[in-house]
Chain A
Amino acid sequence: MKFVIIKYNAGNIQSVSFALERLGIDFTITDNAEEIMKADKVLFPGVGEASTTMAYLRDKKLDQVITNLKQPVLGICLGMQLMCKYSEENNTDCMGIFGESVKLFIPKDNLKVPHMGWNNLTLSSGWLDPTIENQFAYFVHSYYVPVNSYTSAITEYINPFSAAMHKDNFYAVQFHPEKSAKTGELVLKSFLKV
């Protein structure tokens, strides 16, 4: 199986690479459109700010490449948000694979923003290993995707939001599987099986 990590200015490429290494997966890190299109599975990492990242992806035409992929694609954190239609983070038009808009958390009670730390997952659809139900994943984010018809796992913080999504060949997680201990490994393995 040919596994590709999309190379761009994402902050977590090294950590994602190490996580795949720990699972014994061979992969290539590339921004070459042809190589990405030929891959069996594509991983779209992400740590950073939406508008500068989208500008970079457009400049490299990677946004078109990703949107047109037919094989399974997994977006992580900012990767997931950029797969949506629009982000409130600096009013950014994103790729629109998912029709949702990404919203900023409004602090409530004593809940701080960013949402940072371990929080539990409630599963709502099939691609994630069922043993992940109610397990904890590691989150770091200030923006969130509301619960929608493509939501595959829900987490509660300030309000319920999409911890994972799935539409056709596109899969996405808001948390960091590469930093989420055993649960994260199960999520990556779930993606390997789709």
Chain B
Amino acid sequence: MLTKRIIPCLDIKDGRTVKGVNFVNIRDAGDPVELGTLYAQQGADELVFLDISATNEQRKTFASLVRDIARHINIPFTVGGGISSVADVAPLLEAGADKVSINSAAVRNPNLIDELSRAFGAQCIVLAIDARKIDNLWTVHTHGGKNPTDKKLFSWAKEAQERGAGEILFTSMDHDGTKSGFANDPLSKLYEMLQIPVIASGGAGTKEHFIDAFVLGKADAALAASIFHFGEVKIPELKSFLKNKEINVRMN
């Protein structure tokens, strides 16, 4: 039986792992290869590495970091951050990444999803959506959540699926950093309307929140960062807990 996936997310800046709380404050939580290896050993099902470097100059080192990650880590991983063309993606997949995630560039140029999907296959294209509720509408934001757009979560997710995205990574900005649980209502709506997997992101604070994301939110996978980095929730304990609550997870 296919399992629900637990995905630690590592934000990378200048080759180091960082995590923004509500996308503003940043704390240092270590070396990405070491941390990723540790998570893989602990039973993480996948990893996400997001390069949040501000400039292309800083980004040049990312492909070599991806290679280093692939060399050491024996589970699938997704990389993202600043990807805006087929030419950006090829070296990352060749370096050993399994999937890439795109966000702002796809909002600016939705055709990018079609191009990447045709070039590399839908299974390796993850569309990341950052959204926040404004006037009761889930409004898509770009550039790490800084810029509101006129796109709405549900129609954008549907469009992305039609254009060839293989997965949706939905981060609720209203929940991110709050540790009060995932955005289960919009997650379950995404589940109902999409045929591609949905990764829940933003709001993880306790083990129970993961159960809610899987049962109420019907998510295929749940992603979290700081609670793993700072050891507030440990992956082996989380997985045993989920298994005891009859959520189908991979035990190792």
CB-defined contacts of B195 to chain A, threshold 8 Å: 107, 112-113
Please tell me which stretch of B22-30, B51-59, B88-96, B129-137 contacts chain A, meaning at least 4 of its Cβ atoms lie within 8 angstroms of it: B88-96
Contacts of A114 on B, CB cut-off 8 Å?
A: 122-123, 166
Chain A interface residue count, CB cutoff 8 Å, equals 36
Instruction: Report Cα–Cα, A179/B95, bound state, in Å.
Output: 14
Interface residues of B in 115-172 (CB under 8 A from A): 120-123, 166-167
Let me know if B252 and A116 touch, CB within 8 A: no
Can you list, as one digit per residue, whether each of B239-252 has a CB less than 8 Å from chain A (1) or not (0)? 00000000000111
Cα of A180 to Cα of B195 in the assembled complex, Å: 25
> Could you tell me the distance in whole angstroms from the C-beta of B114 to the nearest C-beta in chain A?
16
Q: Tally A-B pairs: CB < 8 A.
A: 81
Given the complex, which residues of A lie within 8 Å of B94, measured CB to CB? Answer: 14
User: A176 — nearest CB in chain B belongs to which residue?
Assistant: B76
B35 at the interface (CB under 8 A from A): no
Q: Are A136 and B93 in contact (CB under 8 A)?
A: no
Q: Which of B70, B74, B96, B196 contacts A112 (CB 8 A)?
A: B196
A140-B123, A179-B98, A182-B252 known; A119+B74 contact, CB < 8 A = no
Q: Is A138 an interface residue (CB 8 A)?
A: yes
CB distance from B6 to the nearest CB of A (A): 10
Q: Determine which of A18, A115, A138, A185 lies in contact with B96 in the assembled complex, contact meaning CB atoms within 8 Å.
A: A18
B3 closest partner in A (C-beta): A118
The minimal Cβ–Cβ distance linking A77 to chain B, given in whole angstroms, is: 11
Number of B interface residues in the complex (CB < 8 A): 32
B42 to chain A, nearest CB (A): 11
> CB distance A117 to B123 under 8 Å?
no
Q: Does A67 contact B (CB under 8 A)?
A: no
Interface SS, A side = mixed
**Closest Cβ neighbor of A157 among chain B residues:** B2
The answer to whether A118 and B40 touch across the interface, beta carbons within 8 angstroms, is no
The answer on a CB contact under 8 Å between A18 and B2 is no
Q: How far is the CB of B86 from chain A (nearest CB, A)?
A: 14
Q: How far is the CA of A140 from the CA of B120 in the complex (A)?
A: 13
Tell me whether A18 and B71 are in contact in the complex, defined as CB-CB below 8 angstroms, given that A112-B196, A116-B123, A118-B3 are known contacts: yes
Set A18, A49, A179: member contacting B75, Cβ < 8 A: A179
| Contact flags A103-132 to B (C-beta < 8 A → 1, else 0) | 000010001111111111000000000000
Q: Which of A14, A19, A112 contacts B197 (CB 8 A)?
A: A112
Is B75 within 8 A of A15, CB to CB?
no
Kindly state whether residue B176 has any CB partner on chain A within 8 Å: no
Known: A114-B166, A117-B2, A180-B75. 9 other contacts (CB 8 A): A11-B93, A11-B120, A15-B98, A112-B220, A135-B252, A138-B75, A140-B123, A179-B74, A181-B75
Q: Provide a sorted-by-A list of 18 A–B residue pairs whose CB atoms are within 8 angstroms.
A: A14-B95, A18-B70, A112-B196, A116-B123, A117-B2, A117-B5, A117-B197, A118-B2, A118-B45, A118-B250, A119-B1, A120-B1, A136-B3, A136-B250, A156-B1, A181-B74, A182-B74, A184-B74
Q: A residues near B, CB below 8 A?
A: 11, 14-15, 18-19, 21-22, 47-49, 107, 111-120, 135-136, 138, 140, 156-157, 176, 178-185
